[in-house]
Amino acid sequence: MRQLFLGLILIIFLLSEANAAGKMYSSVLDSHCTSWNLNRILGKKSSCRSRTKRLSQAEVGCHLNKVTLNKNDSTMTDCICERAGYNLGTSTVSLEENGICPRIIKCGRNELD
């Protein structure tokens, strides 16, 4: 009986999601469906047409924090942007020919700089 209980606990842990360092890892669970096809009206099995993005995969807005010249190449500008959200860190974008940094850009939530 004890082995059966431990086996069920192990299966639950293997099929559930885990969070580590702000990234979401999933085994077999998909995100929820936002729109279904209309096959059910015709008496057929309906299926999902589009699914939502996981929060850990979605892009966030980055706001310009500082503009510096690239240390290795003086013709490039480094735009240092801060990710919108709590404690998400910064992101660096390099522009050629001393380009003008945009004030707001889209950047990935889990990028490593």
- The tokens 């290795």 sit on which residue? 72
pTM: 0.49
Q: Which residue has the higher pLDDT, 112 or 105?
A: 105
- 68/50 Cα distance (integer angstroms): 41
Picking from 87, 96, 91, the residue whose alpha carbon sits closest to that of residue 62 is: 91
**Burial category of 97 from C-beta neighbours within 10 Å (exposed 0-12, middle 13-18, buried 19 and up):** exposed
Q: Which residue has the higher pLDDT, 26 or 1?
A: 1
Q: What is the pLDDT of residues 13-55, one digit of tens each?
A: 655 555 455 555 554 456 678 788 887 778 888 888 887 776 6
- 88/56 Cα distance (integer angstroms): 11
pLDDT for residue 6: 73
Q: What is the pLDDT of residues 47-104, one digit of tens each?
A: 888 877 766 667 788 889 989 888 888 888 899 998 887 888 888 888 888 788 889 8
Q: Which residue has the higher pLDDT, 54 or 113?
A: 54
